[in-house]
């Protein structure tokens, strides 16, 4: 789980990962919400500790909503994103949640491939969701 001491490392990954990255205050805000979780993917214990990726999600009533997922570009294509999502799903199941929701850009083919491989289904589209490009958001859902 992340703490405020991790924010600088999260911001570096965030800025390298998204055209419109979250500002520092968004991360700090998520750490303060009781229903929000920020999980980290870190380097192996036998190496200098380094944050390699993160996932941020909310658990509300019987649903999980994934807000943000990013992996350091130097460590992509090694299964870290998949492991972060699977850990979040395992936590959802432990808490008897029924569904997992997320939004993704249609242009993010790597993420879409991962989500579909994990069983997420496209259930709706939010038109012009992303302010930076006007791109739609695909709403994906996984029933647990």
Decide if 50 contacts 28 (C-beta within 8 A): no
Q: Is position 103 annotated as part of the catalytic site?
A: yes
Catalytic member of 103, 129, 130, 135: 103
CA distance 100 to 141: 6
Q: Is position 35 annotated as part of the catalytic site?
A: no
Could you tell me which residues come within 8 angstroms of residue 124 by beta carbon, excluding any fewer than 6 positions away? 138, 139
Catalytic member of 30, 32, 50, 115: 115
User: What residues act catalytically?
Assistant: 103, 115
């Amino acid at each position: 789980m992340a703490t405020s001491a991790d924010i600088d490392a999260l911001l570096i990954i965030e800025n390298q990962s998204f055209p419109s990255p979250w500002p520092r205050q968004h991360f700090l805000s998520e750490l303060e919400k009781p229903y929000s979780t920020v999980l980290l993917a870190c380097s192996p214990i036998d190496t200098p500790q380094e944050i390699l990726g993160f996932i941020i999600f909310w658990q509300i009533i019987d649903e999980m909503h994934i807000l943000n997922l990013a992996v350091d570009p130097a460590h992509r294509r090694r299964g870290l994103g998949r492991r972060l999502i699977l850990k979040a799903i395992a936590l959802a199941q432990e808490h008897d949640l029924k569904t997992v929701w997320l939004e993704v850009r249609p242009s993010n083919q790597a993420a879409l491939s991962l989500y579909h491989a994990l069983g997420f289904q496209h259930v709706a589209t939010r038109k012009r969701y992303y302010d930076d490009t006007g791109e739609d958001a695909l709403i994906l859902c996984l029933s647990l």
